[in-house]
Amino acid sequence: MKIPSHVAIIMDGNGRWALERGLPRSKGHQAGIKTFEKILKKSVEMGVRCLTVYAFSTENWKRPAAEINFLMNLFQETIMNHIDELCEKKIRLKVIGRREGLPANIIKTINKAEEKTRDNRKCQVNIAFNYGGRAEIIDVCRKIVSDYKNEQLIDEELINKYLYDDNFPDVELLIRTGGEKRLSNFLLWQSAYAELYFSDKYWPDFDEKEFEKAIEVFKKRNRRFGGLPEEGEK
């Protein structure tokens, strides 16, 4: 099988990585940025068309204010520092999630990055920030109800068009690092037929080799989508 067109990653385990080293959790988040840079580069090299990463969930507001502030600043800084490079490498950046509730300076940065990279076509990177799968489905419903009067028009294709990102709705491979085996409200609609891959590595320890391993496992999977195996497959 081919390289997955859309890979989604739940980048989990930053806090535990840091605590095991006697460091504050914030150091784990910082180290996680380095992994994100490596994996983005590797995905582009391997020909993945879309990479979606989970950076901050609608549930992460439950964390202490100091950690939330740290994550907000880190996100803002990371985007600012990467805009030029993304443009050079022809990577389009999108931030998926609820804009309401985010500080005004962050919204400004997001708009700027999206605007500057909008015509890049080599690869798309979606950062899920203040993202929740349920919130997204609610937002889709709200928009459809205000735009359409006829419920017969609502089908999968229409819902795909109303998602936060309508370019790559179907996730083909979903990776979660950090050992937990759950979705934590990530891409509920888009992952309906995703192949799931769990790694025990904490996100800061995940690297190009681990990513390649996940892709190799994906390639061997037999995807049936509710149908029957293809000729020659079991």
| Residue 12 binds to Mg ion (criterion: CB under 5 A) | yes
Instruction: Check if the beta carbon of residue 168 is closer than 8 Å to that of residue 189.
Output: no
Q: Which is nearer to Mg ion, 113 or 128 (CB)?
A: 128
| Residue 106 binds to ligand IPE (criterion: CB under 6 A) | no
Q: Which is nearer to ligand IPE, 51 or 71 (CB)?
A: 71
Active site residue 12: yes
| Residue 184 binds to ligand IPE (criterion: CB under 6 A) | yes
- Minimum CB separation from ligand IPE for residue 136, in Å? 14
- Minimum CB separation from ligand IPE for residue 66, in Å? 13
Q: Dig out the tokens for 101 from the structure.
A: 């509730």
Instruction: Check if the beta carbon of residue 171 is closer than 8 Å to that of residue 52.
Output: yes
Specify the 3-state DSSP secondary structure of 100: coil
Q: How far is CA 27 from the centre of its chain?
A: 21
Q: Which is nearer to ligand IPE, 13 or 169 (CB)?
A: 13
What is the dihedral sign for C-alpha 130, 134, 139, 140?
positive
Instruction: Check if the beta carbon of residue 202 is closer than 8 Å to that of residue 11.
Output: no
Active site residue 119: no
| Residue 33 binds to ligand IPE (criterion: CB under 6 A) | no
Build a one-symbol-per-residue string for 66-105: x at contacts with ligand IPE by CB under 6 A, - elsewhere: -----x----------------------------------
Query: What SS3 string covers 131-176?
Result: ECHHHHHHHHHHHHHHHCCCHHHCCHHHHHHHCCCCCCCCCCEEEE
Give the interface size with ligand IPE as a residue count (CB under 6 A): 17
Which residues are part of the catalytic machinery? 12, 60
> Would you tell me which residues interact with ligand IPE (CB under 6 A)?
10-16, 54-57, 60, 71, 178, 180, 182, 184
